[in-house]
Chain A
Amino acid sequence: MIWLLCVLIGVLTSASVWLMLSRNLVKFLFGLVLISNVANLVIIVGGGFTPLAPPLIGEAGATLANALPQALVLTAIVIGFGLVAFVLVLAVGTYRVFDTVDMDAIRFAEPVDAPRVVDPEQVEPGVRS
């Protein structure tokens, strides 16, 4: 069971990194949602995955589940949910204001001062050699 979850963590991480490398803000956010769930899975797996064991301190020697990772993940899910809700609204607002979700096209905070690449068509023929 543990190894299955480990493979799942690997697959989800690669998928979310691929999504987050996108210039598209919406794809980036989907990647972020996915990778925050990966973090939750890491906590669960790292804390010890114990099916069918109660999270209580009972008889000596009995198998018991570590309840702490569950509590941590519960907290993380709640916080993550709030952040995701906020960020999705932000994405909608961004689309409404800028009419695009391409992050490279949104340069209002850091405007490009001068054209970096000289267009060869605009250089005079004599100069071009």
Chain B
Amino acid sequence: MSWLLVACLMTPLLSAAASFIAPRGGSQRATVATCGTALLVALAAMLLWQVSQQGVISAQMGGWSAPFGISLVADPLAALLLLVSAAVTLAITLFAADDVDAARSDAGFHGFVQVILTGVVGALLTGDVFNLYVWFEVMLIGSFALMTLGADRVQLDGAVKYIALNLVATVLLLTAIGLLHAMAGTLNFADLHRVMIDRPQDGMSRVVATFFLVAFGIKAALFPVFAWLPAAYHTVPITVAALFAALMTKIGVYSLFRVGSLVFSVEMVEMRALLTAVAVATLVVGLAGAIAEHRLRRLLAWHVMVSVGILLLGVALGTELALAAAFLYFVHGMLAKAALFMVIGMAERHGAGEHIREVGGLQRLSPWLAAAFLFSALSLIGLPPTPGFWAKLAFVKAGLDAGSVLLVVAVLLAGLLSFLPLMRLWNEMFWKAAPEPALASQTLAALASAPGATPPGRPMQAVTLPAGMVMGLAGLTLVSVLIGLAPASLYALAADASASVIDPSTYVQAVLGEAGDSAAMPMDGPSDAAPDAMSDAPRAATPDAIREATSDASDTPETSQ
């Protein structure tokens, strides 16, 4: 069934291409993108089912067997996150179909969303660290395009900072991969795991691990390299903000964890204290920013950092239960963050301004919007019966089991303090009476800030929202409600994922397994090409032979001098 891996990767790529060449002016581009994403959700669901039945699935591209070619691997973690990412993106494309203006749509907006999705799928499924870099670039170029598309002054300012700092991260990642290759002589995750576990630990491996930590830390907006996030996330169209908040930083944390658990398993344990400190600092900064903020979008942007901090706390603790809790939180965070950004977008349709003073009375204007906001906000705070509660419960249990008071206190305090900004949003947006238009415009003039999404001084009023926007938000909220009411099946998947990353031997076995093993075959059915091609080569029968050969070669210049 390894064709599924390739199908998952090709679907968003082809739908991106189809969306770029679809005729402009109408809704065709959005329709193509939505259909492609829906197909990906179906494929991802099949993949998750397959993986939960047979364990890790891998495919070798072009029939080159494992450490030589590029592997695609789906373990329970990647498959779970793939399904959730695809589902959230489906909701976002539905939302975008009605939200994005014609100029942006004609400039290729929906295609670029698919490009980002391609990067996300690739980063989740790849079994090769250089390939991971390439998929990060795909994600990056898509996000650059979305950041700058139809840019006004505010958006351009945010885009410059986002792009500059992310490119620094890219250079660090590339350097880290170069050094890792110099150290281990291979780029395949499974092979790297084998090599690095036997390798005596020294300064070099710590340096390379730190390079990776900083590079993925910038992508994930960890303290102290988070400055691009509050500068950029609030400037983009609300659909893009929802997409970035749900996917981009989370993929940074995922990659940090993937590289940490497979390649630097020893260094990861050593860095546990550092990771915990970084996670707590990220939490504190995100919470402080959210509490101090008075603009709707920026408040939510700061709160993205809280999710990242909690995720990293679980990863830093590293017990099986803590990881399961982190993966549960992963899923819940993606759903809730995307939903909250959508609510802000809909509130702006009702006439809400940028500032907290230019909004109010929404509960009366749109009770369903209020319900959707409340559920996702309570989920981020962590009250039952929301998915966030179950994730926090698992975190607290993991912390108590491992005797880590810090984790328990940090997670509970983060929930408690999230109450302040999110409930202030609730009070101001929904319970407060609608502001007088005159006051609103006066406030805006006094602040002398750049114009927001809506013209100043527009009164709050009930409008009929387009069906796509409603479906997107309703879908996300419905999934959240279902998870909140019946968390057992999702928890089972998260626990499965956690067990598989705690013991990567099945991962390594599935990728490097003997040729002829059905799991290592490129396609279903007989395929003799790969073993034959390899046996034709005189040396290089094993990865170690190649490694010796290349390390001999790299020693030569020193000895000849």
Q: Do A and B bind each other?
A: yes
Chain A residues with CB under 8 Å of chain B are 1-2, 20, 25, 28-29, 32, 35-36, 38-40, 42-43, 45-51, 53, 57, 60, 63-66, 68-69, 72, 75-76, 79, 82-83, 86-87, 90, 93-94, 97-98, 103, 106-111, 113
Whether, in the assembled complex, B337 has its beta carbon less than 8 Å from a beta carbon of chain A, the answer is: no
Residue ID in chain A nearest B551 by CB atoms: A48
- On chain B, the residues within 8 Å of A109 by CB distance are 154-155, 157-158, 161, 231-232, 234-235
In whole angstroms, what is the CA distance A65 to B230 when docked? 46
Residue ID in chain B nearest A36 by CB atoms: B171
Task: For chain B, residues 2 to 20, give those with C-beta under 8 angstroms from any C-beta of chain A.
Answer: none
| 0/1 string, B549-561, CB within 8 A of A gives 1 | 1111111111001
B158 touches A39 (CB 8 A): no
Task: For chain B, residues 228 to 247, give those with C-beta under 8 angstroms from any C-beta of chain A.
Answer: 230-232, 234-235
A60 touches B539 (CB 8 A): yes
Given contacts A2-B557, A83-B137, contact A108 B178 (CB under 8 A): no
Residue ID in chain A nearest B540 by CB atoms: A57
- On chain B, the residues within 8 Å of A103 by CB distance are 160-161
Query: A112 to nearest B CB, angstroms?
Result: 10
- Out of A47, A108, A110, name the residue touching B153 (CB < 8 Å): A108
| 0/1 string, B105-133, CB within 8 A of A gives 1 | 00000000000000000000000001001
- Out of B144, B235, B538, B557, name the residue touching A86 (CB < 8 Å): B144
B130 touches A97 (CB 8 A): no
Interface segment among B192-200, B425-433, B442-450, B464-472: the answer is B442-450
Given contacts A32-B164, A109-B234, contact A46 B181 (CB under 8 A): yes
A50 touches B553 (CB 8 A): yes
Chain A residues touching B, majority SS: helix
A1 touches B557 (CB 8 A): yes
**Can you name 7 extra interface pairs (CB under 8 A) apart from A39-B178, A42-B178, A109-B161?**
A38-B175, A40-B174, A43-B175, A46-B178, A65-B553, A69-B178, A87-B167
| 0/1 string, B75-96, CB within 8 A of A gives 1 | 0000000000000000000000
Whether, in the assembled complex, B420 has its beta carbon less than 8 Å from a beta carbon of chain A, the answer is: no
Query: B208 to nearest A CB, angstroms?
Result: 10
Residue ID in chain B nearest A32 by CB atoms: B167
8 example contacts (A-B, Cβ-Cβ < 8 A) are as follows A40-B174, A49-B554, A60-B538, A72-B177, A79-B134, A83-B140, A103-B160, A109-B232
In whole angstroms, what is the CA distance A101 to B450 when docked? 19
In whole angstroms, what is the CA distance A18 to B557 when docked? 32
A90 touches B160 (CB 8 A): yes
Whether, in the assembled complex, B179 has its beta carbon less than 8 Å from a beta carbon of chain A, the answer is: yes
Of residues A42, A87, A93, which shows the largest number of chain B Cβ atoms within 10 Å of its Cβ? A42
Residue ID in chain B nearest A48 by CB atoms: B554
A90 touches B178 (CB 8 A): no
- Out of A2, A28, A36, name the residue touching B174 (CB < 8 Å): A36
- On chain B, the residues within 8 Å of A47 by CB distance are 178, 181-182, 550, 554
| 0/1 string, B211-238, CB within 8 A of A gives 1 | 0000000000000000000111011000
B551 touches A111 (CB 8 A): no
- On chain B, the residues within 8 Å of A66 by CB distance are 550, 553-554
Q: Which 8 A-B pairs have the closest CB atoms?
A: A48-B554, A46-B182, A43-B178, A109-B158, A109-B157, A66-B550, A108-B157, A39-B174
- On chain B, the residues within 8 Å of A36 by CB distance are 167, 170-171, 174
Task: For chain B, residues 517 to 538, give those with C-beta under 8 angstroms from any C-beta of chain A.
Answer: 537-538
- Out of B148, B231, B538, B558, name the residue touching A90 (CB < 8 Å): B148
Given contacts A50-B556, A65-B553, A111-B449, contact A25 B160 (CB under 8 A): yes
